[in-house]
A and B are shown apart, each in its own frame.
Chain A
Amino acid sequence: MSELKAKSLLLQVVNYAAFMAIVWYFSFSPPYRQLAEDKAVVTLAFGHAAKRVSECTVLSQAELEKLAPNMRKPMDCPRQRSPVTIELRVNGTIEVGDSLQAPGLYQDQSIDVYRNIKVPHGEHRLSIWMNDDVNVDGPTYHFEQTVKLRPAQRLVVSFDAKKNGFSVN
């Protein structure tokens, strides 16, 4: 093997090694810290169909006659749902405060809530206030609970209107 070929081979080895070093390093490093060691996460996540803006009403004969024959239904049920106002406090501090309009062309679909709140581990007082009915002043649902969070714990706060409203998992 000529000296030139040996040198070229050696350089190739150096180049392959450098390339693989880059591949290896960025394949794992630098490590990414997503959450500080002393933190936990409260995730507020639920879907909910709010109350309709108004109840169904029975149409009078006169009102029905004004409609085209194929549109004459005895009940008029507006599809629009109320906006949902929600407030989540952790130890009295507002962490989530939103007013969400129901999506859809007729604003008749469920709203989706998904929020992550990073908090220090330990004991916290969670307080949730929600209004899903435009005809009611004040909260339609209220939830309070003291929770104790371990470091790196994810506490999911969910909601089911058919069960007991808010719950923590």
Chain B
Amino acid sequence: MIKTNPIKLGYRVLEAWFNLSFGPSWNPLYNLGTLTFFFFWVVLVSGLYLFVFFDTSIVGAYKSVEYITHEQWYMAGVMRSLHRYASDAAVITIILHMFREFSLDRHRGVRWFSWFTGVPTLWFVITLGITGYWLVWDELGLYIAILSSELADAMPFISGSMARNFLEGQLTDRFFTLMGFLHLLGQPMLLVLVIWIHVKRLSHVKVSAPRGLAIGSFVALLALSLAAPVESHGPADLSKVPTVLNLDWFYLNVYPLLDYYTPRQTWMITLGTTLLLMILPWIPPKKTGQAAEVHLDQCNGCGQCADDCPFDAIDVRARTDGARWAHEVVVHPNQCAACGICVGSCPSSNPFRQKNEALVTGIDMPQYPADDLRSRTDAAIASLSADTKILVFGCDNTFDVSTLESKNAAVVKVFCIGMLPSTLMEYALKKGAGGILITGCRTGDCYFRFGNVWLDKRFEGNRRPRLRARADRRRITVSRGAETDGARIKRALTDFQKTIGDLNASESGERRDDKDLHVGT
């Protein structure tokens, strides 16, 4: 029985479906942020092209969009459709991104900042889209103009009626130039600033979508643009009220509310929803473990922990204790997610050190120190009674590895799989473990962003501290999965036990042969 909430389970099933078709590195659900960036690039490039032909005047705006759509349909028309559809796709990826962080509980604790600043980002995107629709100055543009003005009029600090401007013929070309400036420069620059703030507390922020995913998405957008080119409504007519509108529900969903609520109530609904979303990280607040602490006497200031920290919680600074090293690291406790990845990064977490005393590392987790990890590993190995002694490492944030425990499989859990020092593998094998099975979050996904990524790189020899060649790689395997992947991981354990059994048998056979040979000579 999997004890997890249905939203998370539903998300995991969707994730598995995409893994099946795209694989972990192209899985769109693992690349929602970068995919959004990619759609923005499409919007930017297509928008710049459209601007060449766009006339920022009341009379000229609609005509120029008609030219773009019908006269130069093969290029500008396609660009217009790409502009529209990529904007819509970006809203979907943003909403999925929010849903993902929420359903996987990645919005609370130290991650509150990204969530808190991310929710208003959607507002900036939506208003950017709204000014875009306004510029077309068709029936939809007029509808948006009047209703947006009604909303603006309801704001307490606005005096006068903006909405009247659209009825009394006070609209001028200068207003359109202002809208053009807002849509083309002001709002996009503001959006970039907001996104920069949004990712401020993250390290190694990816902005480029995997090439294959980007190409696939672009081809899909292009196909849609050719199959269903975007067209305008009729021209704006101040003496008419558009009866039926083909609203873009991704951007314009607020406006129909004005048919049921007053502008002030509509503001309250939208602002209230935004505020509620923004405070979700505190409903209820998440208890984060104690922040990592630095033991300067063991730290040589190599900075690997600072480079590995997914939340930019560690800085490298000039040495303060007079030791011979040039640098030291310092932890910002309010940014530390207590994932322990820094412990796995620290070369001094080597369990072969300080054998007969407590292991003290350069950076450690107060509530689960490296010494404790070494002791638990020792105890787990000692508890194994069968021939194939498998040591299973798992993390707290995904499939519960405790269910794998048996007489030939002992379990050690860590905060994040990235907390495991590479040297601990070597140590465990030397201490009598027949094999090591490492689980953790699904490949391409990690509760703490980079735990399994760094572990893979350390094992591949591409990131310090590397797994040394003397650790028998045949006795180490990785089988990752989410809460829903228990059966697969259990099968992987059974298979691995068999592999280790065969390996043990063949090695003991080799040893016997060597002994016989020695006796024979």
Contact = CB atoms under 8 A, between A and B. Distances in A.
Contacts of A113: 161
Interface stretch (A7-15, A74-82, A129-137): A7-15
A8 B164 contact: no
A153 B250 contact: no
Interface stretch (B17-25, B192-200, B506-514): B17-25
Nearest to A40: B241
Contacts of A106: none
Given A33-B244, A40-B241, A153-B241, A45 B167 contact: yes
Interface string A139-169: 0000000000001111010100000000001
A35 interface: yes
B278 to A, nearest CB: 25
Interface in B230-288: 230, 238-250, 256, 259
A122 interface: no
Given A20-B223, A23-B89, A152 B243 contact: yes
Contacts of A12: 21-22, 216
A15 B29 CA distance: 12
A27 to B, nearest CB: 5
Contacts of B249: 26-27, 29
A107 interface: no
A113 B230 CA distance: 37
Contacts of B84: 27
Interface string A103-126: 100000110111000000000000
B307 interface: no
Given A32-B245, A45-B163, A112-B164, A19 B92 contact: yes
B222 to A, nearest CB: 10
A11 to B, nearest CB: 3
Contacts of B143: 34
Contacts of B89: 19, 23
Contacts of B150: 114
A41 interface: yes
Contact of A34 (B23, B220, B241): B241
A36 B243 CA distance: 7
A156 B20 CA distance: 59
Given A20-B220, A46-B164, A152-B243, A34 B21 contact: no
Given A16-B216, A35-B241, A11 B21 contact: yes
Interface residues of B, number: 45
A17 B230 CA distance: 18
Contacts of B216: 12, 16
Contact of A45 (B161, B230, B242, B246): B161
A8 B24 CA distance: 12
A103 B153 CA distance: 13
Interface string A17-59: 1011011101111011111110011010111000000000000
Given A24-B228, A27-B84, A16 B217 contact: yes
B322 interface: no
A113 to B, nearest CB: 8
A28 B160 contact: no
A23 B92 contact: yes
A47 B88 contact: no
Contact-residue size bin, chain A (C-beta under 8 Å from the other chain): 35 or more
A41 B143 CA distance: 13
Listed residue (A20, A37, A113, A152) with the most chain B CB atoms within 10 angstroms of its CB: A20
B242 A114 contact: no
B159 interface: yes
B160 A47 contact: yes
Residue among A24, A27, A40, A47 with the highest chain B CB neighbour number at 10 A: A27
Nearest to B231: A28
Contact of B250 (A26, A36, A46): A26
B221 interface: yes
Contacts of B248: 26-28
Contact of A153 (B20, B164, B240): B240
A16 B20 contact: no
A36 B217 CA distance: 39
A68 B324 CA distance: 77
B115 interface: no
B129 to A, nearest CB: 11
B447 interface: no
Given A12-B216, A152-B243, A32 B153 contact: no
B239 to A, nearest CB: 6
A42 to B, nearest CB: 10
B240 A114 contact: no
A81 B220 CA distance: 62
B161 A23 contact: no
A8 B21 contact: yes
B215 to A, nearest CB: 11
19 contacts: A8-B20, A8-B22, A15-B22, A17-B220, A19-B89, A19-B220, A20-B224, A27-B248, A28-B247, A28-B248, A33-B243, A45-B161, A45-B163, A45-B164, A45-B167, A47-B164, A152-B243, A154-B239, A158-B168
Interface of B: 18, 20-23, 28, 84-85, 88-89, 92, 143, 150, 153, 159-161, 163-164, 167-168, 216-217, 219-221, 223-224, 228, 230, 238-250, 256, 259
Q: Which 9 A-B pairs have the closest CB atoms?
A: A11-B21, A16-B220, A112-B161, A28-B246, A20-B224, A26-B249, A35-B243, A45-B164, A23-B88
Given A15-B21, A22-B92, 18 more contacts: A12-B21, A15-B22, A17-B220, A19-B89, A23-B88, A27-B250, A29-B246, A32-B244, A34-B241, A35-B241, A45-B161, A112-B153, A112-B161, A112-B164, A154-B240, A154-B241, A158-B167, A169-B239
